Amino acid sequence: MNAMIRRFGESVAWGNLLRGEGLAWLFVAKIMLASLSALWLALRFGLPQPYTAMLTVFVVMRPQSGLVLAKSFYRAIGTLAGAAAILLLYALLPQQRVLFLLGLALWVSACTFGAARYRNFAAYAFVLSGYTACIIGLPAVSAPTDIFEDAVARVSEVMLGILCAGVVSDVIFPQRLRDALVRGVRARFVAFVRYSHDALTGTYDHARIEARWRDFVIEAIGLEAQRSSTIFENPQTRARSAMVQRLNLEFMDANTRLLRLHHWMHRLRQQRGSTGEVPRDAAVAAVVTAVETLYQPLATAFDVDLDAHTGEHARDLALSLSRFSAALPAQSTRLREGLPARVRPDLDVALTLLDDYARALRRYASTYATLRSAPVDSDAAPASRRHRFVPHTDTLVDLVAGSRAGLALLIGAAIWILTAWPSGLGMVILATVFVALYSSSPNPVASLRYLVTGFLLASVCALFCYTVLLPQADGFVMLSCALVPFLMVGSYMLTRPALAAIGAGFNIIFVDAVGVRAPQVFDWAGILNDVLADLSCVLLALVLLSTIMPAGGRWMRRRMLHRLRGYVVEACIAPLRGQRARLETAPRDLLQKLLAQPGASAETTAQTLRWAQLVMNIGRGVLDLRERMQVAPPPAVLSEPLQHDALPRLAELFERPGAGTHARALASLDEAMRIAVMDAPPGRRPLLIQLHLLRTQLRDAAYTLGGERLPPA
């Protein structure tokens, strides 16, 4: 029996492996078909650089058709915008070489700046617009009369490659990105509900809960990137796109609220002492016990068949959570009666956080159920401002990235002009491309190192193909036989995440170095010059990316942490409209970048996570407080100290953390609480709960915010 089970397991493993390999080789076959089709059509149409159409296929081709269509769409926009811009620039400065290069550098800088402000393939369109202008405009420095023909040819070659890649990807055994998105949404919902159950029942410890929170942050950003690409596949995915975005933001909300609840209960458990020991504080122990008695009915609500592929069980979960929230006020009154007055605020905060979490999870489950069972056209309206993903941006960092790309063009152009290097033009273009393309990468130096590996392999293969195989190729069939073995190697590497960057570099340089034309010109010195130019462009890009505001540097990390704290400042003083979605999404986007920074030690990563959690907790508390004041305005004797003293002091603390600003922020909250407690009507209790939570969180974060440790309140 055991042998049968083992053989069955081995057969399943082999089946999974073969299925994965089958998809990989299907992708290789499709990219070969698309690239050779583009090359053949470009040769038939008599385009001056047929290999550009082939190169476009390798750049835009991806295993999922949605990614191909999205990248093709934005590549087309970027190419057209770049061609139009360079024609306009040339019309303004037809005979001023220096001014022309300066204008081109400004355009590249502006495009790189735009790429840094956007995400996913929208950023790619900006990069394309910049380096398309370089590809068309730089040859015009020495041949100005050919610029219009070059622009038309470049656009034609790129559009031909896009057309071939899109048709092959979407017609021949298409792999839909929508299917991967649906599987990801379903798996994440199941994982989060089970994680919630384990977190509430004590299966997960403190460290594991925080690690899982970090994983969910990264998953949420990845799902947003997937969602933005699926809209190109079919009308059904476009109709549901807004609801998927809403689902993602509600997931972030539930994840944050569970973390806030856990942090509060973790604090109370530390005050109580270890389970099984005599509690250090019997009153606090009673609070912990009271809240944990409510965990059981909440955890029971999670016992549904989550593996079912319908939304009915998610709807059952949402109904159970609604009943739990409806019964909570009566249970809260009962639990408060048996506790001393000094710990009742702690219980109130815990129950408020528990209710907030249950309501957030109910919204998440309801949206998931609707998404699984609603008609495809039920969500055709765009997402509201409340449910819109807001990426993190930093104008200063983006300006530096744009300036660095413009500087790469000017330095490369100076080398090319001063040395009269025949292949210097290619070096200038590729150096500018790589600096612009990797400026927004969290670890550009590492990415370029992988690219260099692909360059070196491709250079050797290109020299062999160019000198030995191409001279023997007579006709398109023989030409294809000479190219395909090498291109299959690079394309297969694209299917392996660890080798994808090497494969991309291999394909780009191999196609560019071989440079198939009609008629084919064999220039042995020229190809050596081209290979040397390709390697030189990477060296120039590495130098600029490593010296001008390098990723992982101390200044960059301090800047990013300052911007992370800035979201609490905005929560304190900025208009409330749109702040909820901004606080939920932008800090997560920035946290993902911080965690991807190279050279971070374990201590640095832990500090980053502490700041991120503090920003999410305090920022959420501030917004809850301000929204409460907006719904039920307190009297002027309380609203004035809150709006003109407590919130500005809190903003000052996160703008300039230190012992002094921390003490002033605590003092302002103490004064607001003193005023709120005096003759407080029952309707002011939610405001008192928010103030107590904020004050306690500030005291607990004294070491992070002010470099000191305060005794428990």
Burial of residue 238 (CB within 10 Å: 0-12, 13-18, 19+) is middle
Distances (CA, A) of 6 to 3, 9, 12, 15, 332: 5, 5, 10, 14, 54
- The pLDDT tens digits for 679-699 are 566 667 788 888 889 999 888
Q: Which residue segments constitute the domains of the chain, with CATH numbers given?
A: 2-175+394-547 (no CATH), 177-387 (1.20.58), 556-706 (no CATH)
Lowest-pLDDT range, 142-146, 229-233, 422-426, 531-535?
229-233
Residue 14: band (very low, low, confident or very high) from pLDDT cuts 50, 70, 90: very low
- Residues 425-450 have a mean pLDDT of 85
pLDDT, residue 578, reads 84
**Residues 264 and 165 sit within 8 Å (Cβ to Cβ):** no
- Residues 395-408 have a mean pLDDT of 91
| 399: amino acid identity, one letter | L
pLDDT, residue 637, reads 82
Q: What percent of the chain has pLDDT over 70?
A: 90
Lowest-pLDDT range, 23-27, 92-96, 292-296, 342-346?
92-96
Lowest-pLDDT range, 163-177, 232-246, 299-313, 469-483?
299-313
pLDDT, residue 109, reads 93
Residue 63: band (very low, low, confident or very high) from pLDDT cuts 50, 70, 90: confident
- pLDDT above 60 for 375: no
pLDDT, residue 570, reads 94
pLDDT, residue 374, reads 59
Higher pLDDT among residues 573 and 307, named by residue:
573
Highest mean pLDDT among 446-450, 579-583, 650-654, 706-710: 650-654
- pLDDT above 70 for 7: no
- The pLDDT tens digits for 115-156 are 888 877 788 889 889 888 988 888 877 777 788 888 898 899
- Residues 394-422 have a mean pLDDT of 89
DSSP line for 46-57: T-S-HHHHHHHH
How far is residue 639's CA from residue 466's CA, in Å, rounded to a whole number?
78
The number of helix segments (H) and strand segments (E) in the chain equals 26, 0
Burial of residue 15 (CB within 10 Å: 0-12, 13-18, 19+) is exposed
pLDDT, residue 680, reads 60
- pLDDT above 80 for 380: no
How far is residue 662's CA from residue 652's CA, in Å, rounded to a whole number?
9
- pLDDT above 50 for 285: yes
Residue 19: band (very low, low, confident or very high) from pLDDT cuts 50, 70, 90: low
Residue 308: band (very low, low, confident or very high) from pLDDT cuts 50, 70, 90: low
How far is residue 198's CA from residue 275's CA, in Å, rounded to a whole number?
18
Greatest alpha-carbon span in the chain: 96
How far is residue 153's CA from residue 36's CA, in Å, rounded to a whole number?
19
- pLDDT above 90 for 713: no
| 230: amino acid identity, one letter | T
Mean pLDDT, the chain, rounded, equals 84
With CA atoms as reference, report the closest residue to 33 among 152, 224, 170: 170
**Residues 469 and 463 sit within 8 Å (Cβ to Cβ):** no
Higher pLDDT among residues 625 and 306, named by residue:
625
**Residues 31 and 61 sit within 8 Å (Cβ to Cβ):** yes
Q: What percent of the chain has pLDDT over 90?
A: 23
Question: Could you give phi then psi for residue 552, rounded to 5 degrees?
Answer: 85, -5
**What sections of 281-343 are H helices per DSSP?**
282-301, 312-337
**Residues 385 and 577 sit within 8 Å (Cβ to Cβ):** yes
- pLDDT above 90 for 32: yes
CA angle 200, 204, 209 (to 5 degrees): 90
**Residues 192 and 95 sit within 8 Å (Cβ to Cβ):** no
Lowest-pLDDT range, 230-244, 379-393, 594-608?
379-393
- pLDDT above 60 for 93: yes
- Residue 554 burial (CB count, 10 A): 9
pLDDT, residue 274, reads 56
Peptide bond into 63 cis (omega under 30): no
Residue 40: band (very low, low, confident or very high) from pLDDT cuts 50, 70, 90: very high
Positive/negative CA dihedral, 278, 335, 353, 321? positive
Burial of residue 452 (CB within 10 Å: 0-12, 13-18, 19+) is buried
pLDDT, residue 305, reads 61
Higher pLDDT among residues 377 and 571, named by residue:
571
> Which tokens is 644 given?
């003109």
Residue 12: band (very low, low, confident or very high) from pLDDT cuts 50, 70, 90: very low
- The pLDDT tens digits for 594-648 are 888 887 788 888 888 999 999 999 999 999 999 888 888 888 888 888 888 999 9
**Residues 567 and 589 sit within 8 Å (Cβ to Cβ):** no
> What's the predicted TM-score (pTM) here?
0.85
pLDDT, residue 683, reads 62
- Residues 331-339 have a mean pLDDT of 83
With CA atoms as reference, report the closest residue to 594 among 615, 620, 578, 579: 615
| 469: amino acid identity, one letter | L
- Residue 270 burial (CB count, 10 A): 14
